[in-house]
Chains A and B, each alone.
Chain A
Amino acid sequence: MLQDWLILFPELALLGFLLAAWLINRYRTVNTPKTFFTLSKYFLLAAILGTVVFYNKSAFPGLWVNTPYSTLFKIVIYLLALAWYYLSSKWFLAKNKSSYQFYNLVMLALLALELLISAASLLLPLVLVPLLCWINWRLLRLYTDPDEIRVMSRLYAFLSWLFILLLAGGIVLIGSRAGTFDCAGVFAYFQNRGALALADYAAVGMILASLLFMLAIAPFHSWYLGMLTYAILPVCGFLTLIPPFAHLSCLINLITNVFGEAGGFMRLVLIIFAAFSLFVGALSANGAANIRRLFGFSSVYHLGFMLFSIVSFNHGGMLSAFAYMMIYLLAMAGVYTVFLGLKSRGDFLANLEDIDGLSNAKPYLAAAFLIFMISLTGTPPLLGFLGRLSVINNLVVDERWVSVGVLLLSILFMANAYLQVIRTIYFEPVKHNFDRTDKAIYICLFINLILVMISIINPTYLLQDAEKILSGVF
């Protein structure tokens, strides 16, 4: 019994934060925006510790199971969360707003995500996905003008409900057909079943649709772009960096431990969605005037890119997708860190034309931005090249030539979008005065760049352990 409670330490730590934060918010009068970050930091560290210690222990194996695989993903999202929470506190400090709601919501989201990663029963997503949707909805409304976001808020609510219903429908359908909601049981059902029935496909389709919605894969990406347009910067960063990684883990889990190939259905759907994401993301990024939307489309693009690798349904594909995701996250974390440095007269800049001539005013910030963008295009010798190399290599090994061609062509369109940004910050004359950038931003950028440098010089350290863990997946 005690052991079970100990195994639940990470979850309890995250829940504990919620309680502690409430208490502090309620009873402590002098709270700064940093207070809740500091609090979250300790609980997060505790969660990390607990996750590492109990990496293969499970308190409720019927609901969720901790494995080295899930631990890997959890550690990554915890670390990302730690970094982003720290940087978000700078935003709240700059705006002099309370960060209580934000940290509350994101820690709750983190809890939901980490449970989702370890889900061993389909019932868990049934509970967690609506929770996550609700959290997203609340995050959208955080410190935004209610009139401005009314439409978006309602739209998101509508879409969320639709996909929650789809998810619920799918889970119930498959549960009834398989006779169980347990992932292993469902997996056995699909393995033993020869030809799938229409209901089986429908169930898989509904579940997959909702997961793709959560991942913001085109054409289900609009809510994500809308969030980026209206939400505050800490929320944008959170939505870009943390949930996709968790949902990716979920998707891999679905493929490997629940549905398998589902008679080729998964592969077909994922391929089409991946191609759609690729081109919608790349082409739309070219027309974006808002840099957050631009990088939002870029995220859609990169997720599509990575999906192409997952579709191999083999060890190589998973490893390359993981590598790509890691590298993408490093670069995007850097990009969002730069966003925190783009301030003029107290406002955080979001339009492309607002950052004209950034290199003249803030050369180091611009340089870091440049490095991250070039990394995102996959240009050597930066880290992004490693990601591109992994994915393309995997496709070549599988001799999927058309996919290779599609991916390589899409890179050109995406590169053009980044070139627009580079042109803006380097080739245009400066038009605004930029506010002084917090040293912490520079420190974070520096650390990020060091990681990038080390990774490109010795990539093995980044991938070796992951390779061992992921090889166990298949």
Chain B
Amino acid sequence: MHSPFQLLSLIVALPFFGLLFVLTVKDDPKTESRNAFNVCIFTILANILMIWRVFMVLDEQSRHLQLQEHFNWLSTPDINIIIGVDVFALLLILALHLAVLIGLSGVRSNTCKQKSLMVFTLLFLSMATGFFVAADIFSFYLFFEAMLLPVFMIIGMFGEVRKTGLIYRYFLYNFLGAIILFSAVMIIYHFHGALTLEQFARTELRPGVRYYIWGAVFISFLSRIPIWPFHYWISSINSSIRNPLAFIITAAIPLTGIYGFIRFLPAQFPLPVAQYAWWVDIIGAVTMLFIALIGFSNKDTQYKLFAYITVYYIMYLLGVFNASELIRINIGYSLFSFVLIAAALEVLTGYIYHQEELYESGTRGFLCKVKRLSFSYSYLTIAAIGMPLSAVFLNNFLILSRLLASNIKMGMVLIASLTLVGAMLLQELFRLKVDNPDCPVDAKDDISKPMFWFMLFIMFVLLMTFIKPLWFVIDE
């Protein structure tokens, strides 16, 4: 299906135009940060409206990439940029936009270098959107690597990461993955031409290079996902970041790895490679348990959140490897809610720790006197552990049933990991809710009413996804 209005280019370009607007914002010390922030919010909201429009135009039942747009880019080598979208990709784009919006709500009072933060956030959003709509191997790779720079800048400038060496490593390992993917893309192009992603999934690769290509694809995408041994630097970074928006953006990177597998993997694993794919299952399952155990024993809340995100991402990854085509859309539905939950939890956690720094006290019993924050945090935690408050519940049921069917032992390890992270989040919740007479927090330290209403809106969205995942789509 071709779009007459190039909607997809628009949703990719809109954040970039917003970025340019932010750059032109007046450099008045009093209003600069507010103006930049407002422009950013407006841009994201406008893009969300566009995405909503695309949803209405899309055929939900079709599994092919729709609304395709072609751009002739290079003649030597002959490369065309093709973009297209399906429901799965669009859900992730929407989730990412909402997550960034949630993250922005956590940094609205930030006045230091707000303009730079908005610029890089919009740049990341533009690149990530392009990544999700990429329909051919070149554009896919292009955006896959392009999004690294804004992430690096955001972490470096705003992440408040104490060890700068961690930032370099983080960037270089992701960069290495991108470079390896680049080599694979070039080899594919040489032997098979500029394939679209759908064509690639159906193509029988040349015997001489297929091991390298699949190996490169695996390594490059796995390097984005915190699976052993790539988990170490990702965990080091994520658990060090204190800025909620930076955390959310960094936590969105593994999503790109999973999406990469969704697009690149064929419906059935090619035989020569299938025998190695189960290694990923084992390593994934072990990593899940490993991270869950560390998160359970670690006292740092940020690490717990990272552990939760990691375990779920690996679960989705294993779902991608073992699930049928039918289940993939369920992964999409679940991912949508999961991203929102993780983002909202991070913002609230960031708020709590900000207050902790103000009072220079611990966070034990923090939620006792702050009702709005307490309600929001409780709801999100309960939704995070898989209770029927979001689409995570039902869709995880389907994913897990598939995984249990393919390998019961791996499935049980998975369940154990999910139980551990759930217990870990609950542990944290109750630590914040315990009665603590020494806690200096007062009702006035609660989140503001606009923030609370926004969180209620997010909770409403989550609840509606539980009832019907695409509830916001109005059939034309």
Which residues does A use to contact B, with CB under 8 Å? 316, 319, 359-360, 363, 370, 374, 379-381, 385-386, 389-390, 392-393, 396-397, 404-405, 408, 411-412, 415-416, 419, 422-423, 426-427, 459-460, 463-464, 467
B156 touches A426 (CB 8 A): yes
* 12 examples of A-B residue contacts, CB within 8 angstroms: A379-B146, A380-B143, A381-B142, A389-B186, A393-B186, A396-B186, A412-B179, A415-B171, A422-B156, A423-B167, A459-B74, A463-B76
Chain B residues lying within 8 Å of A393, measured Cβ to Cβ, are 77, 186, 189-190
B413 within 8 A of A: no
Q: Which residue of B lies closest to A409 (CB)?
A: B179
Q: B157 touches which one: A386, A412, A426 (CB < 8 A)?
A: A426
Chain A residues lying within 8 Å of B116, measured Cβ to Cβ, are 359, 363
Q: Which residue of A lies closest to B74 (CB)?
A: A459
B164 touches A374 (CB 8 A): no
Give the CA-CA distance A405 to B127 in the complex, in Å: 27
A379 touches B148 (CB 8 A): yes
Give the CA-CA distance A390 to B73 in the complex, in Å: 13
B164 touches A427 (CB 8 A): yes
Within residues 133 to 174 of chain B, which ones have a CB less than 8 A from any CB in chain A?
A: 141-143, 145-146, 148-149, 152-153, 156-157, 164, 167-168, 171-172
Which residues does B use to contact A, with CB under 8 Å? 73-77, 113, 115-116, 127, 141-143, 145-146, 148-149, 152-153, 156-157, 164, 167-168, 171-172, 175-176, 179-180, 182-183, 186-187, 189-190
Chain B residues lying within 8 Å of A426, measured Cβ to Cβ, are 153, 156-157
Chain A residues lying within 8 Å of B172, measured Cβ to Cβ, are 412, 415-416, 419
Give the CA-CA distance A405 to B167 in the complex, in Å: 25
B142 touches A412 (CB 8 A): no
B168 touches A419 (CB 8 A): yes
Chain B residues lying within 8 Å of A423, measured Cβ to Cβ, are 156, 164, 167-168
Give the CA-CA distance A388 to B113 in the complex, in Å: 33
Q: B77 touches which one: A363, A379, A389, A464 (CB < 8 A)?
A: A389
Give the CA-CA distance A427 to B186 in the complex, in Å: 35
A319 touches B145 (CB 8 A): no
Give the CA-CA distance A380 to B150 in the complex, in Å: 12
Supplied contacts A359-B116, A392-B186, A408-B179, 5 more A-B pairs, CB within 8 Å: A363-B116, A379-B146, A392-B182, A408-B180, A411-B179
Chain B residues lying within 8 Å of A427, measured Cβ to Cβ, are 156-157, 164
Q: A385 touches which one: B142, B168, B187 (CB < 8 A)?
A: B142
Chain B residues lying within 8 Å of A397, measured Cβ to Cβ, are 190
Chain A residues lying within 8 Å of B171, measured Cβ to Cβ, are 415, 419
Give the CA-CA distance A405 to B182 in the complex, in Å: 11
Q: Which residue of A lies closest to B127 (CB)?
A: A381
Query: Knowing A379-B149, A412-B175 touch, does A396 contact B190 (C-beta < 8 A)?
Result: yes
Chain B residues lying within 8 Å of A460, measured Cβ to Cβ, are 74-75
Give the CA-CA distance A412 to B167 in the complex, in Å: 14
Chain B residues lying within 8 Å of A408, measured Cβ to Cβ, are 179-180, 182-183
A416 touches B142 (CB 8 A): no
Q: Which residue of B lies closest to A456 (CB)?
A: B73
Chain A residues lying within 8 Å of B75, measured Cβ to Cβ, are 460, 463-464, 467
Chain B residues lying within 8 Å of A411, measured Cβ to Cβ, are 175, 179
Give the CA-CA distance A464 to B172 in the complex, in Å: 34
Give the CA-CA distance A53 to B328 in the complex, in Å: 63
Chain B residues lying within 8 Å of A415, measured Cβ to Cβ, are 171-172, 175
Closest 7 CB pairs of A and B: A380-B142, A396-B186, A427-B156, A396-B190, A380-B146, A408-B179, A393-B77
